[in-house]
Chain A
Amino acid sequence: MDEAKDQKETKQLTGEKTEVGLVERAKETAGALKERAVEEAKTYKDPQQTQVWKSIFRVSHERSDPRNRSLAILSNVFLHLHPAKINRDAVRYQYTWGMGGITFYLFIVLTFTGVLLMFYYHPSKILAFRDILYLEHDVPFGKLLRNMHRWAAHLMVITTWLHMFRVVLTGSYKRPREFNWCVGVVLLVLTLLLSFTGYLLPDDQLGFWAVTVGTNMARATPLLGHEGPFGAQLGLTPYNDVRFGLLGGSIVDANALLRAYIWHCIGIPLVASIFMAVHFWRIRKDGGISGPAPVMLESEMKVPKKK
């Protein structure tokens, strides 16, 4: 075998004519290549065995042994918010109601639809209202987009309240979760403010008057508003009080629209994201979801001795 090959090569090198033709040789090479390709293609039949796949997904989900199930959570950036294992009763949605998670999901939906809406919206008095009309009548699925943003926002307020309601009914704000409850209260306020700042953006009568009524209350802020107690005594006027700062003017106008837009799209979502990160982090650090916990009895309650 080797001898024959050597002879062949010698002949090629010396330019001596071989008995096999060029075409024959090409066919031979092509045949070998094809064989190799077929061999390789067999390994591609299972995409999960490819280098690309393995580089992205470190864990195979084919086997469901405990180690793999844990790794599915631990090695995934989106899922690693969860612990690998939880109390067997903690998955009972009759207890949890799932409202916190749904609120977070709605925040994601709102971010997604909100970013898409930003492509079609100019925060200026001249264009804002027109952009909404354009969005409703000309942009493909524009109406659906706006509707979904609006209803998801309303739903988020509802789910936040229900989440809070559940936490109260189960006493989940108690030690060691007191601080996380406070973070939650801040998030509730931020949710309401997010919704409220968005209300002005269509620049229609509804939003304009709602925001006018809302910010008029700021005039009456004690010490900081020109109509509030001790405001006038401190030298506050409609042109330097807290309402002026909120609106960027003494009336709801172009500056107010721009400020509402920036608070709505950048300012509050940023702050809310930070608080959400703390909120979720603390759930883990405070020992996961509060229950359903074993009931305690009155007889086991310790009354601290008076010193």
Chain B
Amino acid sequence: MSPVQPGVSTPDEAPETRSLAVRALASPVLRNKSALVALGVLGFFVFLAIAGPLLIDGDPKAKVGDVFEPPSREFPLGTDGGGASMVAMLIAGARVSLLIGFCAAAISALIGGTVGILSGFFGGKTDTALMRITDYFLVIPDVPLMIVIAALFGRSTWNIIVIIGIIYWTFTARLLRAQTKSVRERVYVQRARALGATNSRLVVRHVLPQVTPLLIANTVLLIAYAIFAETFITFLGLGDPSTISWGRLIQNAFIDDAIINNAWWAIIPPGLCVMFVVLACTIIGQSIEDALNPRLRTGHLSVRRFRVLPRAAQPEQPGS
């Protein structure tokens, strides 16, 4: 099943793009069992993030018990080094971590999408210049770069979002460029061009709807990386000191010597939350991408530093 077909249609009318896009997104996810589970996991954490304030009464950071109290009926996951309930902290952390994940991914998708589409659509010198820049930034290691920028420019949640957002766009740009190049050559786009459609009309009406599913798939993957990156930045003390995120909880466990206190309940859960969300996003994003274009299989693990690997190195997806 190929959801993005070069449909035969009247020149200036792309195939029913909107419903196609929706189907393209929904079908691989619903068909793939592990993707369905992943969707459930992500949904659960999104629910926690949104309903958080309703689930916990008062300030999650409030000292409600002893320091590092082991799990009990009152505190199902015990308390942390400040005597706050771990469950409340995790729920509060979901909100900030997911906010950072979604917003940073949106920024990356916007920058990467724009660069990729412009590059692929116009080709020539624009393409060469934009892709040269992209390639340079692909090689520069992203985590140290993020840490340096965060160290220099401040410690607010929005700063972190912008920093992560402006660093992870390179892969998106590469991917979208490839897809745009192929869409541009399709018959109905050529016809529309022959009929005198302007460039902006071609991009908005014909290219954009066809590359959107891929962009969304990629954005889901980016959410995973953004959440992951947040834990790095925060762990080094570069996060906003007043907010609670999962990265912050890992940092707290380290700084408050949870290890010496043998408080596994303060260490394990935040990392597991990150792991589950990252896994879920990876599986969802990858299954959409694979279904859209099996030949674009660069593999979920290589997304961090996309590079055209030799033919033999195109990984497959687990659980498919």
The answer to whether A and B belong to the same complex is: no
- Identify the A interface with B (CB < 8 A): none
